[in-house]
């Protein structure tokens, strides 16, 4: 009887005598129902539900929750029915017990599916009454405390389930102390060696830190006494699992994590919180950008506090949390604090937030195809730092916040990422730079001929995507630079009636040694990337064969085909297109940059023979080229749509649109469109001039 006597003594602190009597009556009923049943540890089974009720009594839950906790396994493990419970203890207690009961009479294909279905039932019961999850969390906490009697493999499975599901739920409901207990027990069971190592390191570090902690605490208390603000100062240590997560997430050493000294200051009013904040900032200088006001804007789980980080003595960072007594109790008990301050005509902020969250879960439940899908969908909501999206086959993929469709493509497979050209999100075409949101279905469109674009690095966020993009671009640029370098050198050698193939192996090898170049391919890549000048290289290779005179006139212009890739770029200042007279210059690292002959920016390199390059369009140019046009039109409804439709009709794509309003009657719109050549552009301009509202069209440069 010692267990129930201890519980009743606890309850005397906050429950009425008739309520304690009801709890005791539930205990008598539960003990009789579980008579003859034992736990794996050998203890009578009733010790478990009694321990669950004791955990709930520590956070001062109402008496019906305690009754349901004591009875939570009778429907599953005994012959007692829900109807009997309802008759004996009322509908409210019976519903709570039914909500917590496990699914035992349904056969599932796997343990994962059984766990998901059980979780789904629990969530649905939570929607009816949030106390179901509080009982379930207490049940899980006691099971974790007695996990040692289980097989090692079962211990790890239960520990993982605790860390993945129950810890986030406790966090979401703001139940900080219960979350910390579950994290500590789950971590020690799932990673016993890591837990042991970290715990020993913490104990050792605590001894080394004792003097500094005492000095900081004395300084804080002394400053607060001068201000005559009644408060309580508490030293605060991160739990071992939090330390492990921080080390893992930020790639930190243990010493880096333990260098932060944390204190909590609890006061009587919100006004005192802000006064103490100013006092702390006067005592030690605050770290810029590290102040957070969760009182004015509370967290989603109802947590409220002021957080600031200060430069302490010896340069050590000090983390300070300032909150009221009520905020502190809510921070520890979360939604359970609702029953501590419950009144008949009002609900706490935590209760309202929890009910809103549960309503969102109901929407997820209605759209979920099965229990596994529902479980994964709830995980999305419990892990706000990640984005969960679906493949077309319904598989769940986890990506970091701000991930794009390119990150998704590389997460599926490197080859998919390398060949992607577009994406569909929820069956709608979107740019590859589109940020992904939780619950979206993503489909990647690929072609065999496509390859990564350097622009992707501007928006890709995952390490895998960025590493693969860089690797592919490096290989792609090398291959393209090799081809262009060979063309440039052969073009120059042709002026001397020679070619790379006609050069002797001895002369090439001798030149490579002089230039400290590893191979001919590396030499050609350097030429293609503009790091070596083709004319100078050619002259040095055949220095003994041809005099320097008459060589420049003999060199023919390089033919631009439009398929050179990244090593030939078209200047955005003048947007050259096939048919325009063009010239080029060699840019280190970029290869050849092509301009129109009339471009003002060509003047700076025309007087530099080593950079200037004669180029011309090849007779068979491939691809599409960007060009700017300006359309002056009447300010009428539908004009922009008509212009865009006619541009598309002539097989051109609009890349950018920028509109400048002139007055109330006319406006000018700048379009960047793609064309095959000047003939194609002329056809588009002629077509647009037939529109009645279009007054003038001009090609713009610069």
- Catalytic residue numbers read 76-77
In degrees rounded to 5, what are phi and psi of residue 446? -125, 160
In degrees rounded to 5, what are phi and psi of residue 265? -115, 120
- Rounded CA gap, 211 and 213, in Å? 6
- Rounded CA gap, 188 and 422, in Å? 45
Give the Cβ contact number of residue 364 at 10 Å. 17
What is the dihedral angle through the alpha carbons of 559, 565, 568, 569, rounded to the nearest 10 degrees? 130
Question: Are 524 and 486 in contact, with CB atoms under 8 Å apart?
Answer: yes
The residues with which 285 forms a beta bridge, in sequence order, are: 311
Q: Which residue, among 410, 506, 531, has the nearest Cα to 459 in the 3D structure?
A: 410
Structure-token pair, residue 30: 């539960």
The residues with which 628 forms a beta bridge, in sequence order, are: 672, 700
In b/e form, how buried is each residue of 609-637, taking b as 16+ CB within 10 angstroms? eebebebebeeebeebbbbbbebebeeee
With vertex at residue 274, the alpha carbon angle to CA 269 and CA 280, rounded to the nearest 5 degrees, is 120
Give the strand pairing for 261-267 and 317-324.
parallel
Q: Which residue, among 24, 22, 42, 46, has the nearest Cα to 33 in the 3D structure?
A: 46
For 12, 21, 63, 134, 663, the CA distances from 16, given in Å and listed in that order, are 7, 9, 9, 22, 78
What is the dihedral angle through the alpha carbons of 366, 372, 378, 384, rounded to the nearest 10 degrees? -140
- Rounded CA gap, 543 and 560, in Å? 28
Question: Are 562 and 636 in contact, with CB atoms under 8 Å apart?
Answer: no
How many residues does this entry show for the chain? 702
**Distance separating the N- and C-terminal Cα atoms of the chain:** 90
Q: Which residue, among 226, 225, 217, 147, has the nearest Cα to 188 in the 3D structure?
A: 147
The residues with which 669 forms a beta bridge, in sequence order, are: 631, 659
Give burial (CB, 10 Å; 0-12/13-18/19+) of 383.
middle
The SS3 assignment for 503 reads coil
Give burial (CB, 10 Å; 0-12/13-18/19+) of 359.
exposed
The residues with which 297 forms a beta bridge, in sequence order, are: none
For 255, 666, 694, the CA distances from 378, given in Å and listed in that order, are 36, 53, 54
Question: Are 223 and 237 in contact, with CB atoms under 8 Å apart?
Answer: no
Question: Are 49 and 70 in contact, with CB atoms under 8 Å apart?
Answer: yes
Question: Are 114 and 89 in contact, with CB atoms under 8 Å apart?
Answer: no
The SS3 assignment for 517 reads coil
């Amino acid at each position: 009887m010692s267990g129930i006597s201890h519980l009743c003594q606890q309850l005397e602190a906050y429950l009425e005598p008739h309520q304690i009597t009801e709890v005791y009556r539930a205990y008598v009923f539960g003990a009789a129902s579980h008579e003859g049943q034992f736990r794996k540890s050998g203890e009578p089974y009733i010790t478990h539900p009694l321990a669950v009720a004791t955990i709930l009594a520590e956070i001062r839950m109402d008496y019906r929750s305690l009754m349901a906790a004591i009875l939570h396994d009778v429907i599953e493990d005994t012959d007692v029915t829900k109807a009997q419970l309802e008759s004996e203890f009322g509908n409210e207690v019976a519903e709570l017990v039914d909500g917590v009961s496990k699914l035992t009479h349904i056969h599932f294909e796997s343990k994962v599916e059984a766990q998901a279905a059980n979780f789904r039932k629990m969530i649905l019961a939570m929607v009816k009454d949030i106390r179901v999850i509080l009982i379930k969390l207490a049940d899980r906490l006691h099971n974790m405390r007695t996990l040692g009697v289980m097989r090692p493999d079962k211990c790890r499975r239960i520990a993982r389930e605790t860390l993945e599901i129950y810890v986030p739920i406790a966090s979401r409901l703001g139940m900080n102390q219960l979350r910390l207990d579950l994290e500590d027990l789950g971590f020690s069971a799932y990673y016993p060696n890591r837990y042991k190592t970290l715990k020993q390191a913490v104990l050792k570090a605590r001894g080394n830190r004792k003097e500094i902690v005492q000095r900081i605490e004395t300084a804080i208390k002394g400053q607060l006494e001068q201000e005559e603000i009644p408060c309580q100062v508490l030293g605060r240590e991160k739990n071992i699992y939090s330390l492990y997560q921080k080390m893992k997430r930020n790639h930190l050493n243990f010493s880096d994590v333990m260098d932060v000294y944390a204190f909590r200051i609890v006061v009587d009013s919100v006004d005192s919180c802000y006064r103490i904040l100013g006092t702390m900032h006067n005592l030690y200088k605050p770290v810029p950008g590290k102040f957070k006001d969760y009182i004015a804007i509370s967290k989603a789980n109802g947590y409220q506090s002021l957080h600031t980080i200060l430069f302490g003595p010896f340069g050590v960072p000090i983390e300070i949390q300032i909150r009221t007594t009520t905020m502190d109790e809510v921070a520890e008990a979360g939604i359970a604090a609702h029953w501590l301050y419950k009144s008949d005509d009002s609900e706490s902020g935590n209760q309202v937030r929890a009910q809103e969250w549960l309503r969102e879960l109901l929407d997820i439940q209605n759209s979920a195809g099965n229990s596994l899908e529902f479980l994964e969908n709830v995980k999305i909501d419990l892990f706000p730092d990640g984005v969960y999206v679906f493949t077309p086959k319904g598989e769940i993929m986890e990506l970091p916040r701000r991930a794009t469709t390119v990150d998704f493509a590389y997460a599926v497979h490197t080859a998919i990422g390398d060949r992607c050209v577009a994406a569909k999100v929820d069956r709608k075409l979107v740019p590859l730079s589109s940020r992904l949101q939780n619950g979206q279905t993503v489909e990647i469109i690929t072609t065999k001929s496509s390859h990564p674009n350097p622009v992707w690095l501007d928006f890709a966020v995952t390490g895998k995507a960025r590493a693969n993009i860089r690797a592919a671009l490096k290989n792609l640029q090398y291959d393209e630079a090799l081809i262009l370098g060979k063309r440039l050198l052969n073009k120059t050698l042709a002026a001397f009636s020679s070619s790379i193939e006609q050069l002797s192996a001895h002369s090439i090898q001798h030149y490579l040694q002089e230039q400290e170049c590893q191979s001919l391919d590396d030499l050609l890549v350097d030429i293609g990337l503009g790091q070596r000048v083709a004319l100078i290289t050619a002259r040095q290779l055949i220095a003994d064969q041809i005099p320097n005179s008459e060589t420049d006139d003999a060199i023919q212009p390089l033919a631009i085909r439009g398929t050179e890739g990244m090593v030939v770029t078209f200047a955005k200042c003048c947007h050259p297109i096939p048919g325009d007279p063009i010239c080029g210059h060699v840019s280190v690292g970029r290869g050849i940059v092509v301009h129109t002959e009339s471009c003002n920016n060509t003047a700076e390199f025309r007087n530099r023979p080593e950079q200037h390059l004669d180029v011309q369009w090849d007779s068979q140019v491939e691809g599409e080229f960007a060009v700017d046009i300006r359309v002056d039109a009447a300010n009428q409804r539908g004009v922009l749509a008509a212009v865009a439709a006619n541009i598309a009709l002539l097989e051109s794509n609009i890349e950018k649109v920028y509109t400048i309003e002139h007055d109330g009657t006319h406006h000018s719109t700048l379009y960047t469109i793609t064309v095959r050549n000047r003939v194609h552009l002329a056809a588009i301009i002629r077509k647009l001039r037939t529109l009645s509202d279009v007054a003038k069209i001009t090609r713009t440069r610069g």
